[in-house]
Structure 1
């Protein structure tokens, strides 16, 4: 049976958690940008990519859909959380000095403005360009006779049978509508001219858009427009006075009792409750009838500022599927095709032998995720492999990793899998896979009480020459073959004894009652990671004061933690040059004279989602580099099991340095943060055009060709050091 371990690290973990809680209650005087406002700035950067005329139009469509999906989750979790704080009477300011009420006031203004920009982008920038390229979304009045007959037949055959008009009156209450579902409210009058209301849910089981027969280009129509066109057939006994599409977003953060005896059952109950969460946003069409609008506000119990009147189709996430329509590759970026096998594994028939020779590194998606799959699949079938232990946070819907682990268990190996059931919005998928693994004979656990297990590690225990050798893969991203094509991540393979010992110790903490050990190489949260990073920043500060070489370069998804930010400010004041590459939230404010003028902040938003975490410290002239799963956020350092590991192989170290160097030279996807927290594109004047993502793809191909030539000439030795690494 799967189980949830109730032990949790003591001592330092508890003290750091207390410190973090205390920090929130303090009134910070240091420069600090509010987390939620900074996140909105990130989504604005994504929206800028949707408006960028140099981007292919279907890529712009995809970026716009991403902004909508991002904003949905932001409302379901972050905005809902602030609203709950206000409801509970919580008045403590955040580190930026803003109370929940003040945060909500600023956010409301910013989000309303952002929504207007989304639809301006759609209506003025994207739809006209799509039409110019032969892709037109048509309104009912634009349809010709043939197209009208087509939608009539489609409605009768597929739409009408699944529609359920729901009247709202004294005997029939307002229906419980699913989170993020698209609906249409209707105001009707009966024979006595009395107003009545009804709601129809646009069926999510049907495609949101339908391609129409067209003699010129390609034409499409939205499903809700077909339904609204057919309202007279649905309400034959009533006069239709007004109708309006609407959509609600609900509070969807789970409230889980982790002390329960059955965590899986508790999460399944919470998922059901999520469907009944309080509405935190109501979206309606801008021209909605005022009586209908007031009816919806009253029925859904939302405040006027929680109503968003949109000037176009609601729920722009449907554009993600439209961006993938067939036959339009010329309207997309040239795809980044992963190199397979990557240079580090080219010509390696035995993956374990390759790892024994030296540590190996793969940079996804420029280099294929297949090397990770091969590692697990080979272990599953190798008769000398005794055990496989792996953490899973987010996996794909039809995961080859899961299939390999199941096969390993069926082959008689001891397979232990930590499945994080609390991975937000992946809970149901993870529960499904946990049951599958358990049924196959894997030992499935759910981690430590009160902590999410976010580290990325796979340990293979192999019998070799009457001894045991441990092989492991550690990474910055999930064991997900789908997102590995879209997210940039780095993985390292090693069989060095110190790393293997640490891996065994970490899994013993996760699966049993072991206390956190003194690790040889690993830096693990929540027991030691905060102290490690704080000590490393302090060390660079001291080096600068003593005139020794100093510097910090860090690439993370988010920088939020007040203690880390304060130490970075102090390091800057001591003269430490700090270069930060932060895709998303950045609460640190760079460029303030006397405070952060030695800090630069770059944000890269491009074709791929930047996801890797890399940390470089100059270390008095002997630079070191670390990689791992953690961002510089309180949740990562104090409330999650995270893993950061040193890269010690000289070749791989240089490669890590080169990755950071190239990203800092990006002039296409990069923006820099100013001291007023605004972001500007890098000024390209007088600079070489550098798109780091396309250059990484080119480098991966070039390095593979170099190794291939070396192998073909039967040269014995390690792969040729790529030129971008030789420069160091």
Structure 2
């Protein structure tokens, strides 16, 4: 035991926050990849910005809290909070410089080549200027309420995720004292982008920020100032919730209370226009109460996440073409999906195949007279959820519907409270989760009365029951009537109803009860086989890997010769390729058009390969603080499909980056023969399409 502790202390590890920033750098790589369509490159800039917002609101906020604790000299696998905060700031500043370079020196010139121009307030000619003024007066002016800052004893509360213009009003001549004002840019009411009239096939777009800048004289017409300086600022706040133990508050009320507090969370990042004068920046630092570690200089514009909705006013080729979702072989339109599942298991590979099969499963269950109950766990839902509609219709048809709707799903709390109330209004029994645990599993169980017996039909997935994200997230959804799996699902729902996990599960791996223990056993078996000279390997795909004990176990397996291949999109605290520790471990990350979201665990098992799909990453929170499910793929056909998709991804040398200790995100080397290079998401679609063709269905692609 002593030797084990000593080895663990010497384990090479990458800090979680630094690893996450390396992931976001991979997103930034997509924004400057010339093979990515131009409009989608702009959207990758938006994704980068949105990711960074959440990173500061959650992770930086957490590290900042830890840095204030007396005994926080070391945390999170031995890293020091103060040093990590300084390192984060340095990395983010460098990434911001690169971001600005990509936007200003790459994206803008390439848009110009397409005769699309993003112009600012100084570039408006007379006719376009008049168009902007008319828009300002007719649409925008009534939604703007500047706050005059001079004379205010307290600086106004800056909203999290909002952008503002800090304006200084002055006169070129005379001795009038300058005034300062604050304007919130109303992107919740108006589009961030105003498309201007086309001239000679030239297309022009101006940002809402610059519309306001151009019309400041109209906005402040009651003052006799003739010079205006306007700079963009943005404050990011601590968004972590501190749910208290007030027994007089329901969970809904507790979360609602914290949603209000979140809006006034402590500042963790202040982004400002680097062209701002030192005098004005000093004024803001003093008035808002900022610290040097909060300051991130940026460009002329903030909240780049709004560029997700950047309008394509040019050729359709400037965006990724949409691939039509493939049907599942041997399932005819209108055929009973419950009848199909009773005969064989079904694997849906999203987004290459349609999420509509999940909707069809629920819709059929809602009207089938033999169905007696539907039980489901929900985490994140689409805005106009067809899942919810199907559940409500099921209840109206007399089915017993049970919904566990996780209210603690970060940044979806308000949305989930709304859906909770909607479901309860329809008489549906809603569970809010389990105390101290998030329910993150994605499972649905339909119970049907057949020949006086109750028969279960299950759906287990790696991703949310969310038809919007199912179009852009690469996930797996598995339908089965296998009694070993559905019996475990039934027991799990019984535990969730009791609010206490007590059952022992025969085939499912359920966190936090036993998933860690059972995965450790699976790794130990590979270690044992390697020591016996038996061919042994582990292939793991997930979003993130940061659990120290799991990393140590993988290092242990590597040291005895187990071949380990990891596909990890985001955080990877494991360091591969270290002699004597991890030389048998290879790690890649794939960032492409679709977000790789599936979790897949594959173990050699001495030639009797076992494959599990899961909602869980190998992270501390998933294994110890969430209700998660990993489920086995038990039929040969589905196993072969999952394995081939994984093999395709392991061969990817177009969008796969090598993860190593340097965190440099180098791409895997391409072949000289372009025809044999692999881009896994295209290859996966083609693979599934070829399987469909083999069934000789008359499908029009």
CA distance in 2, matches of 1:102, 1:62: 32
Unpaired runs of at least 5, structure 2? none
Shift of 1:711: 11
SS in 1 for 2:369: coil
Shift of 1:243: 2.6
Partner of residue 218, structure 1: 203
Asked whether the equivalents of residues 626 and 646 of structure 1 are also in contact (C-alpha less than 8 Å), the reply is yes
Q: After superposition, where does 1:475-490 map in structure 2 within 5 Å?
A: 475-490=461-476
| CA distance in 2 between partners of 1:206 and 1:659 (Å) | 42
Which runs of structure 2 are paired with 1:551-570 in the superposition (5 Å)?
Answer: 551-570=537-556
CA distance in 2, matches of 1:709, 1:157: 56
What does residue range 289-368 of structure 1 map to in structure 2 within 5 Å? 289-322=277-310, 324-325=311-312, 328-339=315-326, 341-343=327-329, 345-346=331-332, 349-368=335-354
User: Which residue number corresponds to residue 404 of structure 1?
Assistant: 390
Count residues in correspondence: 687
CA distance in 1, matches of 2:661, 2:216: 54
Q: Determine the structure 1 residue equivalent to 2:404.
A: 418
Q: Aligned residue for 2:134?
A: 153
Alpha-carbon distance in structure 2 between the residues aligned to 1:51 and 1:667: 17
Q: Deviations over 1:236-273 (max 9, x none)?
A: 42534633111111111111126644001111111111
Does residue 116 (structure 1) correspond to residue 97 (structure 2)? The answer is yes
The answer for the alignment partner of 1:193 in structure 2 is 176
* Kept in 1: contact 2:671–2:677 (CA 8 A): no
Instruction: String of CA shifts for 1:451-473, please: whole Å, max 9, x gaps.
Output: 00000000000011111100010
1:242 equivalent among 229, 232, 256: 229
Distance 2:20 2:576 in 1: 16
Q: Is the 8 A contact 2:252 2:417 kept in 1?
A: yes
Distance in 1 of aligned mates of 2:312 and 2:257: 37
* 1-structure distance, mates of 2:202, 2:322: 24
Pairing partner for 1:232 from 200, 206, 217: 217
CA distance in 1, matches of 2:69, 2:111: 47
CA 1:299–1:348: 2 relative to 1, 3 Å: same
TM-score, structure 2 length as denominator? 0.95
* Deviation, structure 1 residue 320: 0.7
Task: Work out the CA distance in 2 between the residues paired with 1:213 and 1:497.
Answer: 63
Q: CA deviation at 1:170?
A: 3.5
Verify the 8 A CA contact 2:599 2:615 in the aligned structure 1.
yes
CA contact (8 A) 1:549 1:620 kept: yes
Superposition deviation, residue 131 in structure 1: 1.2
SS of match in other structure, 1:554: strand
* C-alpha distance in 2 between matches for 1:95 and 1:30: 13
Per the TM alignment, residue 515 of structure 1 is displaced from its structure 2 partner at its CA by: 4.5
Bigger mean CA deviation after superposition, 163-172 or 492-501: 163-172
Does residue 29 of structure 1 match 2:10? yes
CA RMSD in angstroms, aligned pairs only = 2.0
Task: Judge conservation of contact 1:348–1:354 (CA < 8 Å) in 2.
Answer: no
Shift of 1:327: 5.5
Instruction: Quickly say closer, same or farther: Cα 1:344–1:182, change in 2 above 3 A.
Output: farther
Per the alignment, do residues 145 and 196 of structure 1 end up closer, same or farther by CA in structure 2, a change over 3 Å counting?
A: closer
**In structure 1, C-alpha distance between the alignment counterparts of 2:520 and 2:487, rounded to whole Å:** 25
Counterpart Cα distance in 2 of 1:514 and 1:228: 57
Residue 445 of structure 1 deviates from its aligned partner by 0.6
Query: Shift of the alpha carbon at 1:83?
Result: 1.1
Shift of 1:685: 2.6
| 8 Å contact kept, 2:658–2:668 | yes
Separation in structure 1 between the aligned mates of residue 699 and residue 20 of structure 2, nearest angstrom:
48
Selected match of 1:542 from 502, 507, 528: 528
Deviation readout 1:111-145 (Å, 9 max, x if unpaired): 11111111111001111101111211012232222
- Equivalent residues of 2:267, 2:294 under 8 A apart: no
